[in-house]
Structure 1
Amino acid sequence: MRTTPAVRVTRNDLLLAAGLLALQAVLALTLPVTAVGGHRPDALGWTLLVTIAVFQVWRRRAPLGMVLALALAVSVYHGSDNLHQAVIPTTMVALYSLAVAGPPLRTFVVIPLLIGLMAGVMLATLDRPDTGTHMLSSAGWIFAVGLVGEAVRMHRKYIGAIVERAERAERTREEEAGRRVAEERLRIARDLHDLLAHTITLVGVQTSVAAHVLIANPDRLDREAIAASLEAISDTCRDARAELRATLRVLRSGAADDDRGPLGSGGPLGPLPGLPGVPDLVRAAEAAGARVALTVGAGADHAPPAVGAAAYRIVQEALTNAVRHAGGSHVRVTLTRGAAALNVSVLDDGPAAGTPRGPVRT
């Protein structure tokens, strides 16, 4: 259940009450005394003027109670035939505050009651032929003040609704930006995992091959095999370093321009690896001891970039697993273009018999 926080009396409320008291005093002392206006306030009249002004302190905290208490005090003030015009400004402020506070049903129930009370007091205190005219005039400004307050209340409500929608839209935008950042971070983590796992596996296998050559027959050192393994390790590290550097470069540029969305433009993270990079994966796997046969069907190399990137990662992970678990097996990589899809197939026939394997740490 939603509760409305209590409204506290502020310094502005106190200043308004003091200002209205001063205005009432000036009117009571300077307005001409007529037969309709009554006499200058007596001691009771001045007490009521002060009380009526003090009531304004609670015009926002308890508008209905304030209006009812003010109506009682004003009735006594008029009934004592004090200068009637002196309390008009304070009464108008009270009715305006009631209408602004709302709800409108309460306002338009209270106003007729006040008009009825006003008419009763005027009939009891005024004995003039034009009393009806004064009653209509007083009823008119009471209604007018109520309508002005209701118009202000509706305008404030409309502005508040606009501000609330704007704040809600801003929160939605921030939540969407956060979601996109989280998705981008997940993709970065997945790409870095694929890259590092592939690189570390290949380096581990190639190092094991070199170690096996050194240990198997140290008297007949196969320098060419060792050189080939070290060269393959160097190539693998160089390719991984280039891809990692490209990724970090895009991340830095995205962080410097986050007005365009998560990680820069909010689009793909830099140039995605694609199908043109699959032959490099095959050569790296072959350097690690696997025997790979690559078949690319017609049109398969023209897949959209996002599809090509996904196929690249699939082949990379599959070759990593084949090198890690199947050693020098035969691996068949097939890329074919279907009617509405790119088909990727990576098959191996298990560890090759007699394949030298050393410990691989990944």
Structure 2
Amino acid sequence: MAAVNRDPMTAPHRTRNDAFIAVGVTVLAVALALFVDDGRALGPPGWALLAGAHVPLAWRRSRPLLVLLAVAVCATPYHALDYNHAVPIPATLLALYTVAATGTVRRTLLTAVAVLGPTLIVNSFTNPDGALELLRISGWIIAVLFFGVDARFYRQYVASIVERAERAERTREEEARRRVAEERLRIARDLHDLLAHSITLIGVQASVAAHVLTADPQRLDRKAVAQALDDIAGTCRTARGELRTTLEVLRANEASLSVGGEQAAEPGSGLGSELGSGFGSVDGRGPLPGLDGLGSLAEAARVAGAKVELSVHADGVPPSVGAAAYRIVQEALTNAVRHGGRDDLTITVGVRAAEGVLRVSVTDDGEGMEVGVGAGDGAGASDGTPGFGLVGMRERARSVGGTLDAGPGPAVGFEVTATLPLPREDKAR
């Protein structure tokens, strides 16, 4: 079937294979000449014409029309001399089939006219009373040409099916690669959101403890040191719980992929939707806090030494939008504490639902940070290495169809504003 389905013009070793076929057809012709009595016995001219009709078959697929012409040039005088008429028929039919199987329908029709005309004329002179013979010859020629055209169309049909299958396979592979890239991006973003906030607080609290220990060793404020260390321990527990939850989700997603196969890769049902909509609380139990968890974020920033003013006016916010707002505020507070550069830093957090959108604003009066062009837009570590904070916040906003702007505040400091659309209520309900 592979040989049948393959395009004869592009088949490998076609000249070698056609040479073998030509030898086989020649052997058949010799057998017919020796054992079938149909017309005059072959003499030297007959054998020469017979050889001239069979040798070109070795190049039948390379030059189908020239081969047919060569066969016709030798076969026409052969039949005119009334030699054994059955002998050159296999070579003639093979040449006709090759022209039909490798050419267009128009060329095949023209070939049929060009072959039938001289054949019928020659046969009318050699056998003027054989009307049935004329019909039989015409039928064989038309049947062979039709078979060749049908084989050509069949190959084109098979090739189109194979091409569609290959295109579908490429599409599936590209879709799989795209989904893997999206999942990796979501994992990176959520790990950043989960750990960057806690690590920043640990750094600030450790600095506070170090300052208390070195500021006045003679009057060591043991209570302040103990409080700073307790805060560090609490933040570590929080980070550990969040990391454990992340690993549980990753392992659960891996298990679902191995068990569920394609079902686990459907959009919205895999790891990305779990991470994007929130999947664990700070202690690793229950859903991720939404807007109701902003108070704990503000309190953590206050422990780090900042003054936080929180205002929330929003009810009935969908969990996905609430989780996105929570992560945006979390990252904005982390950046403010990290880059504020002031001991009396004041951060204002406002969340308000109005006109079908949830507006989130986080503004500080610190020294701010530069917003450049790069992987993290400048929201990096304290050593100036570009980070991914602003990129992650923008992706959070886009994940629910919203937008986010970040830059220097109107007067001083830094400002982050996000607009997150709220799903409209179904009026038909």
TM range (shorter): 0.7 to 0.9
Change (3 A) 1:167 1:348: same
What's the CA shift for 1:361? 6.5
What's the CA shift for 1:99? 1.0
1:63-115 residue CA offsets vs partner (Å, 9 max, x unmatched): 22221211112113223322111222222222122111121111111111011
Q: Which residue of 2 aligns with 1:113?
A: 114
Q: Which residue of 2 aligns with 1:354?
A: none
What's the CA shift for 1:192? 2.9
1:9-40 residue CA offsets vs partner (Å, 9 max, x unmatched): 25543432232222222222222x2xxx3223
8 Å CA contact 2:201, 2:304 repeated in 1 = yes
Please tell me the residue identity of whatever aligns with 2:101.
V
What's the CA shift for 1:138? 1.1
| Range 230-239 or range 276-285, more displaced | 276-285
Mapped partners of 1:294, 1:339: distance in 2: 21
Q: Within the alignment, does 1:268 sit opposite 2:282 as a pair?
A: no
Please tell me the residue identity of whatever aligns with 2:102.
A
Mapped partners of 1:24, 1:242: distance in 2: 88
Q: How many equivalent residue pairs?
A: 343
Q: Within the alignment, does 1:332 sit opposite 2:341 as a pair?
A: no
Q: Which residue of 1 aligns with 2:159?
A: 160
Q: Which residue of 1 aligns with 2:35?
A: 30
Change (3 A) 1:21 1:247: farther
1:234-292 residue CA offsets vs partner (Å, 9 max, x unmatched): 22222223323333443445456264438983642546245154333223222211232
Query: RMSD across aligned C-alpha pairs, in angstroms?
Result: 2.8
Change (3 A) 1:215 1:112: same
Normalised TM-score (structure 2): 0.71
Change (3 A) 1:46 1:246: farther
**Aligned runs of 1:1-362 on 2, under 5 Å?**
8-9=13-14, 12-31=17-36, 33=37, 37-124=38-125, 126-130=126-130, 132-255=131-254, 257=257, 259=262, 260-261=264-265, 265=270, 267-270=272-275, 272=278, 273-275=288-290, 276-299=292-315, 302-326=316-340, 327-350=343-366
| SS of 1:84 mapped into structure 2 | coil
Mapped partners of 2:51, 2:247: distance in 1: 74
Mapped partners of 1:96, 1:84: distance in 2: 19
Structure number with bigger Rg: 1
Q: Which residue of 1 aligns with 2:423?
A: none
Change (3 A) 1:340 1:210: same
Change (3 A) 1:135 1:294: same
Which structure has greater helix proportion?
1
Normalised TM-score (structure 1): 0.83
Unmatched 5+ stretches in structure 2 = 1-8, 279-287, 368-381, 385-429
8 Å CA contact 2:311, 2:349 repeated in 1 = yes
Mapped partners of 2:75, 2:252: distance in 1: 72
Please tell me the residue identity of whatever aligns with 1:297.
H
Change (3 A) 1:16 1:313: same
What's the CA shift for 1:146? 1.0
Mapped partners of 1:361, 1:227: distance in 2: 29
| SS of 2:309 mapped into structure 1 | strand
Unmatched 5+ stretches in structure 1 = 352-359
